[in-house]
């Protein structure tokens, strides 16, 4: 998804961050107390609600199996929380397979789920492991209104080709130069839009621009409850322009054992994209991470 696709530093750059002097390399300095229990599994998250929810689900699923767990939510972007994983400040993260692969290997070309998972496993730094990816995905999508879809008979991104020159495309600033954006839409699908309007990262400005006709197609994310709420149409990515973004636990290898693996694999197996849409909707209605996580775990008998 758009806010996951952080510009890649590459594995070497990431590892370089991990060996900076401690004073310059404490990504959590000032945000949380120093780690005091080396036996605990510290679950971290990025700085957006879905990531915090998934981290809460992981933590509660592990605690239900008797594991000693701590959480450090809302850490920041991938450039901050990945070094934190490498230096031992945290042990476990919910990640997005394609975005993480892109971060670790800027030359990666895998886009299909199995290919992304295989490439990600190979790209992970020493001492970091991944468990079984979930079928649930939070990926970038190209969305249009129902009226636009009906007018141009749109079901897939490819269907835009005869009409793109009439339409304004909206997306975050980085979409101007990303392969998973304007560049790829032209190179992979042959789409040349009338113009590009810079908006936020699949947020309220994007939704407003799409609904009021400032743009006719826009970058959104597949688990956004606003899609169903506003009867938007997510165009099928038939050429896999957007890399698969399956949810996957990324964990310090030293913390992996049978109990951890079984607990997190059970979460991944049960989680669906539809679950994320529903839970994100509840978060948008100001329900707490704890309540939403506990309800989901109870429904799947994982707590």
Q: Hey, which CATH number is domain 2-137+243-299, 3.30.565.10, 3.50.50.60, 3.40.50.880, 3.40.190.10?
A: 3.40.190.10
| Residue ranges of domains in the chain | 2-137+243-299, 140-235
* Consecutive H or E run containing 248: strand 247-252
Convert the pLDDT of each residue in 212-261 to its tens digit: 999 999 999 999 999 989 999 999 999 989 999 999 999 999 999 999 99
- What are the angstrom distances between the C-alpha of 202 and each of 34, 138, 185, 264, 293? 34, 12, 17, 29, 24
According to the model, what pLDDT value does residue 36 have? 61
- For 140-235, CATH number out of 3.40.190.120, 3.30.470.20, 3.40.50.1980, 3.40.1010.10 equals 3.40.190.120
pLDDT of 19 > 70? The answer is: no
% the chain with pLDDT above 90: 78
Task: Give the pLDDT score at 1.
Answer: 43
Q: Output phi, psi for 289, to 5 deg.
A: -55, -40
Residue 238's pLDDT is 92
Nearest to 191 by CA among 233, 237, 147, 146: 237
Confidence of residue 280 (pLDDT cuts 50, 70, 90): very high
CA terminus-to-terminus distance, the chain = 29
Q: What is the pLDDT of residues 125-156, one digit of tens each?
A: 999 999 999 999 999 999 999 999 999 999 99
d(CA 259, CA 120): 23
244, 133 Cβ separation under 8 angstroms? no
pLDDT at 13: 38
pLDDT given for residue 35 in this prediction: 57
Q: How confident is the model at residue 28 (pLDDT cuts 50, 70, 90)?
A: low
Beta bridge partners of 251: 92, 129
Neighbour tally for 103: CB within 10 Å? 27
- Average pLDDT over the chain reads 88
Do domains 2-137+243-299 and 140-235 share one topology? The answer is: yes
Would you state the pLDDT for residue 139?
A: 92
Read out DSSP for 87-156? TTS--EEEEEHHHHHHHH-TT----SHHHHHHHHHHHSPTTEEE-PPPS-B--EEEEEEHHHHHHHT-SB
Average pLDDT, stretch 67-91? 93
DSSP assignment of 58-75 equals HHHHHHHTT--EEEEEEE
């Amino acid at each position: 998804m758009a806010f996951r696709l952080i510009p890649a530093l590459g594995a070497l750059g990431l590892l370089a961050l991990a060996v900076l002097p401690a004073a310059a390399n404490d990504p959590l300095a000032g945000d949380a107390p120093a780690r005091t229990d080396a036996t605990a599994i510290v679950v971290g998250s990025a700085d957006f609600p879905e990531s915090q929810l998934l981290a809460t689900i992981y933590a509660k699923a592990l605690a239900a199996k008797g594991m000693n767990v701590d959480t450090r939510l809302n850490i920041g972007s991938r450039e901050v929380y990945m070094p934190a994983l490498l230096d031992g400040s945290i042990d476990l993260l919910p990640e997005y397979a394609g975005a993480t692969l892109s971060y670790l290997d800027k030359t990666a070309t895998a886009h299909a789920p199995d290919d992304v998972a295989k490439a990600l496993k190979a790209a992970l730094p020493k001492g970091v492991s991944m468990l079984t990816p979930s079928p649930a995905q939070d990926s970038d999508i190209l969305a249009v209104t129902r009226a636009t879809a009906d007018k141009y008979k749109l079901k897939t991104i490819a269907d835009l080709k005869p009409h793109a020159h009439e339409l304004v495309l909206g997306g975050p600033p980085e979409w101007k130069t990303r392969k998973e954006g304007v560049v790829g839409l032209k190179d992979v699908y042959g789409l040349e839009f009338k113009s590009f309007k810079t908006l936020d990262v699949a947020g309220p400005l994007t939704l407003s621009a799409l609904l009021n006709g400032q743009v006719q197609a826009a970058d959104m994310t597949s688990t956004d409850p606003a899609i169903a709420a506003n009867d938007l149409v997510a165009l099928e990515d038939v050429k896999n322009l957007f890399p698969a973004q399956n949810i996957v636990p990324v964990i310090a290898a030293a913390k992996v054992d049978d109990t951890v693996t079984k607990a997190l694999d059970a979460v991944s197996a049960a989680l669906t994209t539809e679950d994320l849409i529903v839970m994100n909707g509840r978060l948008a209605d100001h329900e707490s991470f704890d309540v939403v996580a506990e309800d989901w775990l109870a429904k799947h008998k994982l707590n």
